[in-house]
A and B are shown apart, each in its own frame.
Chain A
């Protein structure tokens, strides 16, 4: 396992930066430029690169899609959210249509935001490609076919030119898939979701999204600490604040940055990446959450090794 690349990081539904949001960033950048010598391209680049991320960029709005870069020729992806469309476009640009590719596609659960990108996944329409879908739900195949039936979508699933396979994976046991050791864990979410633990060449990545952590259940904390144990990277559903997750949005199936830090500390994980961002949060709010989460880790660390904290954005690549 070499790296993880994020193609979609938003929860629930895609969002886009609108005109007022773009304008606000331009205004903030221009205000900061006042009095500076920006007379060369190099000076402009240096100035822009030094701006805060939420001013110079955006976290993005595609729904869940994360690529595991394993170092092998075959591709590994978690979830089929709208981020699967740009991933597919990048694969076609890189490999063309005449070089058969294999895609291993792991699905956390079957809610719309986690499967909506599949009808727009270009490689699926190309004969010679191979798509293997993995998941813990018995209804994985029917859910993927159903979203492409009339009146929901004009192109039926059967139009795919690639070969299609479905593999059901039982939770709590190790599977050998695509050169990796893979373990699933059932999570609290409407209709269930499954977290994934990927192990390869001594590296461990956890993909745990759409997972509510029930603080009243004493077995929950040690069970997830064990599932996350020693991970190099934990991709974690931090959609809500802890106050929201324990009050008005209790039982909505999501978790918080606070619980993410606590579980990663208990698991002695190396890095926590906040994921599945609330669609209502703008770039400034997400940047603030990252800073606050880093501070929470700092004040709760004690004598333990620091836990790195990052937050996912569309296009982020984390080297393991």
Chain B
């Protein structure tokens, strides 16, 4: 597993990649939970575009992040799920835990206009 993160306005974006199975769940938890608990973040977006698979143990980590985020009245969303991961979310009912969006841009628009503006600026600068 690899894990990257960034921030647009007051929204943090977590970008794990690879297979999130029981062998990497502890590392995934250590990387994700500081973002979920950071009071500066009014929203957390999980960009799962590069995740191939999620096991129950890693889904539990996502649940921990959701609980931590909801506990401080912040929002948490999952975006850009590959078809297999989307099926796993549906079968496990995790699609009822997270706000679900097709893309990072759509999620940022829904969560924070400032975050979306920061994202657009970033995209324009890199393009």
Contacts of A259 in B (CB 8 A): 56
A216 within 8 A of B: yes
Are A243 and B97 neighbours in the complex by a CB distance under 8 Å? yes
Chain A interface residue count, Cβ-Cβ cutoff 8 angstroms: 20
Q: Which residue of A lies closest to B85 (CB)?
A: A299
B118 within 8 A of A: no
Q: A247-B63, A256-B92, A258-B91 are in contact. Are A242 and B56 (CB under 8 A)?
A: yes
A-B contact count (CB 8 A): 49
Find residues 234-248 in chain A having any chain B CB closer than 8 Å to their own CB. Answer: 241-244, 246-247
Find residues 49-105 in chain B having any chain A CB closer than 8 Å to their own CB. Answer: 53, 55-57, 59-60, 63, 66-67, 84, 87-88, 90-94, 96-97
B40 within 8 A of A: no
Are B91 and A296 neighbours in the complex by a CB distance under 8 Å? yes
Find residues 265-301 in chain A having any chain B CB closer than 8 Å to their own CB. Answer: 292-293, 295-296, 299-300
Pick the contact of B60: A215, A241, A293 (CB < 8 A).
Answer: A215
Max count, chain B CB within 10 A of own CB: residue among A243, A295, A299: A243
Are A216 and B55 neighbours in the complex by a CB distance under 8 Å? no
Are B55 and A241 neighbours in the complex by a CB distance under 8 Å? no
A221 within 8 A of B: yes
| Docked pose: A262 CA to B94 CA in angstroms | 17
Q: Chain B's nearest CB lies how many Å from the CB of A49?
A: 28
Are B56 and A243 neighbours in the complex by a CB distance under 8 Å? no
Contacts of A247 in B (CB 8 A): 63, 66-67, 97
Contacts of B97 in A (CB 8 A): 243, 247
Contacts of B91 in A (CB 8 A): 257-258, 292-293, 295-296
Q: Chain B's nearest CB lies how many Å from the CB of A274?
A: 13
Are A215 and B93 neighbours in the complex by a CB distance under 8 Å? no
Q: Which residue of A lies closest to B90 (CB)?
A: A292
Contacts of A244 in B (CB 8 A): 93
Q: Which residue of B lies closest to A259 (CB)?
A: B56
Are B59 and A299 neighbours in the complex by a CB distance under 8 Å? no
Q: Which residue of B lies closest to A255 (CB)?
A: B56
| Docked pose: A311 CA to B10 CA in angstroms | 46
Q: A296-B88, A299-B84 are in contact. Are A243 and B57 (CB under 8 A)?
A: no
Contacts of A256 in B (CB 8 A): 56, 92
Q: Which residue of B lies closest to A241 (CB)?
A: B93
| Docked pose: A30 CA to B62 CA in angstroms | 45
Q: Chain A's nearest CB lies how many Å from the CB of B103?
A: 23
Are B22 and A246 neighbours in the complex by a CB distance under 8 Å? no
Pick the contact of B96: A243, A296, A299 (CB < 8 A).
Answer: A243
Are B84 and A242 neighbours in the complex by a CB distance under 8 Å? no
Contacts of A299 in B (CB 8 A): 84, 87-88
Q: A293-B91, A295-B91 are in contact. Are A242 and B59 (CB under 8 A)?
A: yes
Pick the contact of B55: A262, A292, A293 (CB < 8 A).
Answer: A262
**7 A-B contact pairs sorted by A residue (CB < 8 Å):** A241-B92, A243-B63, A258-B56, A262-B55, A292-B91, A293-B91, A296-B87
The 3 closest A-B pairs by CB, nearest first: A241-B93, A243-B93, A242-B92
